[in-house]
Amino acid sequence: MNIFRFQASAESNFLKRSSAPGAIRAWLVDMLCWPARFDDPRVEQEFTEDYGRRFADFRRAALVLGTLIWVCFGYWEISLARTSPVFQPYFSEIFTFRCAGALVAGIGIVLAFRLDFQRDTLAHWILLGGLAGMCLCLLVQTLLAPRPFNFTHFFVGFYLILFYQFGFLRLRAKATLMLTVCVIAVIVMAQLLTHAIESDNFAAGMFYLLNVAVLGHSVNVNAERHVRDRYVAVQALAQGNEALQRANAELAQKHRDLERARRDQETKSAALIALREQQREAAEQASRAKSRFLAAAAHDLRQPMHALNLFLAAADEALEARDVEASGKLIGEARKASVLTARLFNAVLDLSKLESGHVDPTYTSVDLNRVIEETIEQLAAFAQSRGVALRYGKTRNTPNTPNTQQKPAWVRTDADWMPRVLSNLIANGIKYADPSKVGGAAVIVGLVRMPNYVRVDVIDNGIGIAPEHWDSIFQPFVQIGNPERDREKGLGLGLSIVNAVVSLLEGHRLELKSIEGLGSRFSVRMPVAEPFALHDVEISPADPALSPAPSPSSLRGLYVLLVEDDSLVRASMEALFALWGVLFDSARSVAEFEALLQEIERVPDLVISDYRLPEMSSAHDVIRLLGEHFSRPVPCLVVTGEAGASTQGVLPERCVLSKPLSTDVLIARMLELTEASARV
Written in H, E and C, the secondary structure of 519-557 is EEEEEEEEEECCHHHCCCECCCCCCCCCCCCCCHHHHCC
| DSSP 3-state of 390 | strand
Q: Pairing mode, if any, of strands 509-515 and 519-527?
A: antiparallel
Domain boundary at 504, 533, 562, which? 533
Q: Same structural domain for residues 450 and 597?
A: no
> How far is it, in rounded angstroms, from Cα 232 to Cα 397?
93
- Per 3-state DSSP, the chain is made up of helix, strand and coil in percentages (nearest 5) of 65, 10, 25
Q: Using the predicted structure, report yes or no on whether residue 107 has a pLDDT greater than 50.
A: yes
Q: Quick one: DSSP state of residue 118?
A: T
Backbone Cα Rg of the chain: 60
pLDDT for the residue numbered 541: 44
Among 121-125, 307-311, 666-670, name the one with the lowest average pLDDT: 307-311
Q: Same structural domain for residues 47 and 192?
A: yes
pLDDT for the residue numbered 305: 67
Question: Which residues make Cβ contacts (< 8 Å) with residue 180, sequence separation at least 6?
Answer: 162, 165, 213, 216, 217
Residue 90 inside a domain? The answer is yes
Domain boundary at 144, 174, 197, which? 197
396-419 pLDDT tens trace:
444 444 444 557 888 888 877 788
Q: Same structural domain for residues 511 and 579?
A: no
Region 32-48: what's the mean pLDDT? 77
Instruction: Tell me the DSSP string of 212-241.
Output: HHHHHHHHHHHHHHHHHHHHHHHHHHHHHH
Residue 370 inside a domain? The answer is yes
Beta bridge partners of residue 658, listed in sequence order: 640
Domain boundary at 197, 226, 257, which? 197
Q: Same structural domain for residues 154 and 69?
A: yes
Q: Using the predicted structure, report yes or no on whether residue 17 has a pLDDT greater than 70.
A: no
Question: What one-letter code names the amino acid at 522?
Answer: F
> How far is it, in rounded angstroms, from Cα 507 to Cα 411?
11
Residue 256 inside a domain? The answer is no
Beta bridge partners of residue 512, listed in sequence order: 522
In degrees rounded to 5, what are phi and psi of residue 530?
Answer: -65, 145
627-637 pLDDT tens trace:
888 888 888 98
Region 15-38: what's the mean pLDDT? 60
Region 52-70: what's the mean pLDDT? 84
Decide: pTM greater than 0.75: no
pLDDT for the residue numbered 170: 78
pLDDT for the residue numbered 177: 83
pLDDT for the residue numbered 612: 87
Question: Which residues make Cβ contacts (< 8 Å) with residue 418, sequence separation at least 6?
Answer: 366, 368, 371, 501, 505, 526, 540
Q: Same structural domain for residues 464 and 567?
A: no
pLDDT for the residue numbered 403: 45
CATH number at residue 613: 3.40.50.2300
Most confident of 139-143, 376-380, 479-483, 508-512: 139-143
Geometric angle at alpha carbon 531, from 530 and 533, rounded to 5°: 70
> How far is it, in rounded angstroms, from Cα 200 to Cα 189?
16
Please give the residue range of the domain that contains residue 570: 552-679
Q: Is there a cis peptide before residue 148, judged by omega within 30 degrees of 0?
A: yes
- Tell me the pLDDT band of 469, cut-offs 50, 70 and 90: low
Instruction: Count structural domains, the chain.
Output: 3
Q: How far out from the chain centre does Cα 160 lie? A: 81
Nearest CA among 387, 497, 472, 493 for reference residue 431: 387
pLDDT for the residue numbered 23: 63
182-203 pLDDT tens trace:
988 998 898 888 888 888 888 8
Q: Same structural domain for residues 398 and 499?
A: yes
Q: Same structural domain for residues 529 and 589?
A: no
CATH number at residue 448: 3.30.565.10
Q: Using the predicted structure, report yes or no on whether residue 102 has a pLDDT greater than 80.
A: yes
Whether residue 504 contacts residue 354, with contact meaning beta carbons closer than 8 Å, is answered with yes
Measured from the Cβ of residue 453, the count of other Cβ atoms closer than 10 Å reads 17
**How far are the Cα atoms of 7, 44, 609 from residue 1, in angstroms, in the given order?**
10, 12, 91
Region 135-150: what's the mean pLDDT? 87
Helices (H) and strands (E) in the chain, counts: 17, 14
Q: Using the predicted structure, report yes or no on whether residue 48 has a pLDDT greater than 50.
A: yes
Geometric angle at alpha carbon 156, from 155 and 158, rounded to 5°: 80
Beta bridge partners of residue 460, listed in sequence order: 443, 520
Averaged pLDDT score across all residues of the chain: 77
Q: Same structural domain for residues 575 and 516?
A: no
Whether residue 420 contacts residue 543, with contact meaning beta carbons closer than 8 Å, is answered with yes
Question: Which residues make Cβ contacts (< 8 Å) with residue 74, sequence separation at least 6?
Answer: 95, 98, 99, 102
pLDDT for the residue numbered 21: 53
Residue 292 inside a domain? The answer is no
Geometric angle at alpha carbon 269, from 267 and 272, rounded to 5°: 110
Region 61-75: what's the mean pLDDT? 86
Residue 229 inside a domain? The answer is no
Region 451-464: what's the mean pLDDT? 84
Q: Which position has the higher pLDDT, 359 or 15?
A: 359
206-263 pLDDT tens trace:
888 888 888 877 877 777 777 777 877 887 888 888 888 888 888 889 988 988 888 8
Residue 356 inside a domain? The answer is no
Q: Same structural domain for residues 385 and 521?
A: yes
Percent of the chain residues topping a pLDDT of 70: 76
Residue 478 burial (C-beta neighbours within 10 Å; 0-12, 13-18, 19+): middle
pLDDT for the residue numbered 220: 77
Residue 296 inside a domain? The answer is no
> How far is it, in rounded angstroms, from Cα 324 to Cα 302?
28
Geometric angle at alpha carbon 208, from 99 and 61, rounded to 5°: 45
> How far is it, in rounded angstroms, from Cα 2 to Cα 41?
10
| DSSP 3-state of 148 | coil
Q: Quick one: DSSP state of residue 659?
A: S
Q: Same structural domain for residues 457 and 584?
A: no
Question: Which residues make Cβ contacts (< 8 Å) with residue 536, sequence separation at least 6?
Answer: 364, 365
- Tell me the pLDDT band of 4, cut-offs 50, 70 and 90: very low
Q: Using the predicted structure, report yes or no on whether residue 303 has a pLDDT greater than 80.
A: no
Q: Same structural domain for residues 366 and 396?
A: yes
Q: Which position has the higher pLDDT, 361 or 542?
A: 361
Residue 344 inside a domain? The answer is no
In degrees rounded to 5, what are phi and psi of residue 117?
Answer: -70, -15
Whether residue 561 contacts residue 607, with contact meaning beta carbons closer than 8 Å, is answered with yes
> How far is it, in rounded angstroms, from Cα 628 to Cα 188?
133
Question: Which residues make Cβ contacts (< 8 Å) with residue 86, sequence separation at least 6?
Answer: 146, 149
- Tell me the pLDDT band of 517, cut-offs 50, 70 and 90: confident
Q: Same structural domain for residues 631 and 490?
A: no
Q: Which position has the higher pLDDT, 196 or 546?
A: 196
